[in-house]
Structure 1
């Protein structure tokens, strides 16, 4: 565990960026390496330099040497691209389920860094249901039971774009587990409505279980999407450690009033390389 001493790039599935201003000592310039590995997607690798807490701009390292390996085999060099104003080194092939990926980064003037993780199996979800003007959403999960597994749960309204239904990220749904209808999950029930639940399968390992979610507002869309993401232990530790930062709805410059430890698995640097595999289930609201 490495204390958060820099402006750490906070990653989500959509590659959002937030900055944290924390009045703590600066440990020196290091490479910041961030990548969430999603099967069937290209690998997007964000490489920047760390910054003092009095400086508020990330310095992208756009001439770094980035080496990407899949199961011990060096892949073609990732290509540097600007995407929505941010620079990423992008793989030339998509990630695979169950493969192990390592990333090494070298850049003049910095100590080289490295990090690695594997990609998990996609969760199995089905039978999603919600009714217009009510505040319940339910779905069924089929858990494999072979290992200890980690998950992130989110729900979204969906909108149609060019004939496809996509997540409406501007319309966040806050929810909680229904306290009356989730008796198998007592330690996950809270009074607070959240945008995500990060959990283990401790209470439902190997079971088929129905989740009943209570939304903070009445359901008012025609279509919704359940997203259940399988996480590696590395991704689970990282998302848990940055939860208050990522989910803050206050000004992004002031969202971390109390310094918190952000989990990092980057050797000689900062950031995270971790596997995630999102299952998304689109359904029509009755």
Structure 2
């Protein structure tokens, strides 16, 4: 039955595409040239070298590379120290050093024929996980598939605004974490956007202990087997949890990126034809690059394999 419906749907779409093709007229038009603007992207983390990608805004008809291999990328640190980053080609630039948590860094980028741009961000100090585990099974979804529950606890530093991202992985796949019922996550209003990670601030728990309980549909689950002739219960591979302490700029960019992905009809990394029919209005992407586009953001992360409880 599903196969018949799928073929009917494809046939219907094929007819629609043929009808639309017959209604297309080609016209010539002089499109305005795109603005001369640089695009700078970099993620700063204590576990990696400084790496920066430099590109440019181009038109849809421009077949040449967007990536700029002739830019000058300067890294400034407090106290006025400056370092010129080295080119790797293909618009990539790097420094053999790594960022230090709690230190603000400024990237300045110049390229021939383009106005110079700059961006500043700080890698947050890591907020460590105090306790974390998972339980399985703890329930079922509407398709009667077994669900597990992840629990993570950490202590939020007081007297400062902090931002976090929590991700779950299992069998090298993302886990979609359902944290409905948690006040801090509910206040973020992201529950319907199918985000692969949970991004939130400490606005509702500043300076206090925080606990997150989230359900997940497991990967790598087996319904059980036999051990020495005796039946065994259902088992599942332990998931891995990543807690990131993220900068305010990372938080703002990640929020706009989540909404952009959902709004364009992709729902993350999947393709949903029904959603494509009801695309929303264009959404603005966050940028902290002064005079250009892109983002320079920082985070510190801790990754743990969760024990079963």
Unaligned runs of 5+ in 2: 1-30, 138-146, 222-235, 262-266
CA distance in 1, matches of 2:169, 2:41: 25
What residue number does 1:203 align with? 204
Counterparts of 2:92 and 2:170, CA distance in 1: 28
Structure (1/2) with the larger strand percentage: 1
Distance 2:174 2:216 in 1: 11
1:140-155 counterparts in 2 under 5 A? 140-155=153-168
Q: 2:239 aligns with which of 221, 224, 242?
A: 224
Which position in structure 1 is the counterpart of 2:269? 249
Distance 2:298 2:113 in 1: 29
Gaps of 5+ in 1: 1-23, 159-167
Deviation at 1:26, TM superposition (A): 6.8
Does structure 1 conserve the Cα–Cα contact (< 8 Å) formed by 2:180 and 2:186?
no
Select the structure with the greater relative contact order (CA < 8 A; seq sep ≥ 6): 1
**Quick one: structure 1 residues 224 and 117, their matched pair in 2 at CA, closer, same or farther if it must change by over 3 Å?**
same
Q: Is the 8 A contact 1:68 1:78 kept in 2?
A: yes
With over 3 angstroms needed to count, the CA separation of the structure-2 counterparts of 1:58 and 1:284, relative to structure 1, is: farther
User: Matched residue of 2:97: which SS?
Assistant: strand
Residue of structure 1 equivalent to 2:177: 175
The residue matched to 1:265 in structure 2 has which SS? coil
1:102-127 deviations in Å (ceiling 9; x for gaps): 11111111111111111111122132
Q: How far apart are the structure 2 equivalents of 1:52 and 1:72?
A: 40
Q: TM-score, normalised by structure 2?
A: 0.69
Displacement, 1:223? 3.0
User: Equivalents in 1 of 2:257, 2:63: separation in Å?
Assistant: 19
State the distance in 2 between where 1:272 and 1:231 align.
13
Structure number with higher helix proportion: 2
From 103, 117, 121, give the equivalent of 1:113.
117
The residue that corresponds to 1:3 in the other structure is none
Instruction: Report the counterpart of residue 19 of structure 1 in structure 2.
Output: none
- 1:64-90 CA distances to partner (integer Å, 9 max, x unpaired)? 1111112244344222226xxx64211
1:273 is aligned to 2:296:
yes
Corresponding pairs, count: 245
RMSD of Structure 2 on Structure 1 (CA) = 2.9
Alignment deviations for residues 189-235 of structure 1 (CA, whole Å, 9 cap, x no partner): 87645311221111111111221011144673523222122222222
Query: Could you tell me how far apart the structure 2 residues matched to 1:50 and 1:226 are?
Result: 37
Give me the TM-score of the superposition, normalised by structure 1. 0.75
1:135 Cα deviation (Å)?
1.7
- Which has the larger Rg? 2
Is the 1:130–1:219 Cα contact (8 Å) retained in structure 2? Answer: no
